[in-house]
Structure 1
């Protein structure tokens, strides 16, 4: 059954992620009315890229997003892009928070950041929160909601929503294969596979673009805020830092890299970050079938999109492992990321029918 009595998913601010709260309040009070502060600040757990904080004012909760310190990939951590995407998308896709203020002045907190409304709801992570259970029918409904909301996003007309300049036109699949390959090589450490066999396979087997749609580019359950008080629905989608106009099947493949089910092998199961293992949850094949039915998009060879999704996740994980190895972050959650990269490269290699080198 659904239970809604959950604590806010935020805890103490990690020392390495602390900032000048008084400076933030002084800047924000001139842009949002009625703030009696400074606020109590909590840090949302989860998330491995941009940092997210809860700002607790008297009678009002807000959320602040900022980049981490240390090594940053060239295209990641773009606060202005993330802010602008959500502000433009909100009239066309309801599951987006209201954007309140954007700061580009590094004198305030040392870099760009933005503040938005706080949406009430539940964010699911690896295990269900205490006091929450899902029967098979409810787990199936949750899986369907996740894929249906993705299909709804991909139905937004990029031009009508003001995203005409966001994409770079045809050649999205090629650019993604080249870009993620370049990022992996740039973050390579001596304790993970070199990935060259997987990268060569992706380059050789890449299909033409299927379509160009607005995509979130990091679609997973811990980026979705769920209303579980009544009919299940997604009330908010978070973490738009990588949103763009691109091939929606590339996004579907990337989302399936996180969709680990009860019958997956033990090593892959170690990487599960969302409760997709529950009885009743749709399989990856069922998710793909439902998505294609709702969107009407054609599917060529699914193995390419699935291998790409695994490799892309390996790159994201390796970029964080690179920062951890270099001492640029001490978050203990990152300690097993080198092992995760090895598991993902091995699985991508197996699905592609190749042997990884290195």
Structure 2
């Protein structure tokens, strides 16, 4: 199950104001509201909200100033409204509010899903096995294939996305984000920048993409036969599906990866355990299921590694500026350096796979 903790100091929510909002906007009992916080996640703040038997999940931006166009709660809410009906693994959004007096920022509520989280350890209810790891790998590929197959025509996604020129905007945009949040001098950035800008592939097809697709953003049934929830849709859009595969692979660690990469965020993800697909197996399985040309996937995996570095750099920048005091972020600059060095090495070698 997903881990709930008491709300972290400094990230508290005014229970009375939130209860008034919930009872006014949703059909719930007039009983005491209880709030807990989800332990995982380093970006948006996510809370469990319960009133009697009714429960939901609240999402709001992180504390302090945030990067331009990042953490847009209304956009994520509208995306879920469009995606949920044809991809029900995405949770149903319930209500959005831009009133910052309630929880301190714009926020939305969505349905609560229950299932089993596979992150750095196995749920105690699940017996680890080679077969379990193969099934988890297969479900991750299968659901990504399903997501890339849904139609976005005639939905809000058409208004919220601009698929034309997607990869060029992505590369230039993430390079600018890095420059705005830079703290340490990392010599590999400039050769990597040159390689990324010089080798942008042509997008053959645009689909709905999640763009933060990783094992610990999903919940599974106890028998590991289905994915029952997929979360953190803030970066979702319509764009190059191979960019989504690349992003997934930036999180998909293998046992032979450099230790600084595997342990950069603490305990390593379960994907290093025997039975999980290798990145090459994941990519090949996706390619066979979709028929897409995977010959340039090395570019997407290299760019995704840099993109992950920028995400971590933005978090570290907020920590260094005192905009968050979460001690988990204290060493993020070292992980950023490792990721950028790894991405530059991938560029030199022509990528992975």
TM-score (norm 1): 0.93
Change in 2 beyond 3 A, CA 1:273/1:251: farther
Q: Deviations over 1:111-156 (max 9, x none)?
A: 2101111111112222223453321111011011011101100001
Is the partner of 1:121 in helix, strand or coil?
A: coil
Residue 3 of structure 1: aligned partner: none
Counting matched residue pairs gives 347
C-alpha displacement of 1:273:
5.0
1:71 and 1:335 mapped to 2: Cα distance? 18
Is the partner of 1:17 in helix, strand or coil?
A: coil
Residue 241 of structure 1: aligned partner: 234
Residue 343 of structure 1: aligned partner: 338
Residue 184 of structure 2: aligned partner: 190
Of 293, 299, 313, the match for 2:294? 299
Residue 211 of structure 1: aligned partner: 205
- Give the conservation status (yes or no) of the 8 Å contact 1:79–1:114: yes
- Give the conservation status (yes or no) of the 8 Å contact 1:192–1:338: no
**1:43-192 to 2 correspondence within 5 Å?**
43-190=37-184, 192=186
- Give the conservation status (yes or no) of the 8 Å contact 2:136–2:224: no
Is the partner of 1:30 in helix, strand or coil?
A: helix
List alignment gaps of at least 5 residues for structure 2: none
1:185 and 1:297 mapped to 2: Cα distance? 33
Of 16, 21, 26, the match for 1:22? 16
Q: Which has the higher contact order (CA 8 A, sep 6+)?
A: 1
Change in 2 beyond 3 A, CA 1:122/1:231: closer
Residue 253 of structure 1: aligned partner: 246
- Give the conservation status (yes or no) of the 8 Å contact 1:258–1:273: no
1:340 and 1:231 mapped to 2: Cα distance? 31
Is the partner of 1:42 in helix, strand or coil?
A: strand
Q: Structure 1 residue 312 and structure 2 residue 312: aligned?
A: no
- Give the conservation status (yes or no) of the 8 Å contact 2:163–2:240: no
Q: CA RMSD in A?
A: 1.6
C-alpha displacement of 1:162:
4.2
Q: Deviations over 1:286-327 (max 9, x none)?
A: 000001111111123222111101000000000001001111
2:143 and 2:213 mapped to 1: Cα distance? 10
Q: Deviations over 1:34-79 (max 9, x none)?
A: 3233311100011111110001221122111111111211121111
C-alpha displacement of 1:107:
2.4
- Give the conservation status (yes or no) of the 8 Å contact 2:79–2:156: no
List alignment gaps of at least 5 residues for structure 1: 1-5
C-alpha displacement of 1:80:
0.6
Change in 2 beyond 3 A, CA 1:305/1:311: same
Is the partner of 2:16 in helix, strand or coil?
A: helix
Of 258, 261, 266, the match for 2:259? 266
Is the partner of 2:157 in helix, strand or coil?
A: coil
2:295 and 2:69 mapped to 1: Cα distance? 29
Q: Once structures 1 and 2 are overlaid, which stretch shifts more, 45-54 or 269-278?
A: 269-278
Q: Once structures 1 and 2 are overlaid, which stretch shifts more, 272-281 or 210-219?
A: 272-281
TM-score (norm 2): 0.94
- Give the conservation status (yes or no) of the 8 Å contact 2:188–2:344: no
Is the partner of 1:353 in helix, strand or coil?
A: helix
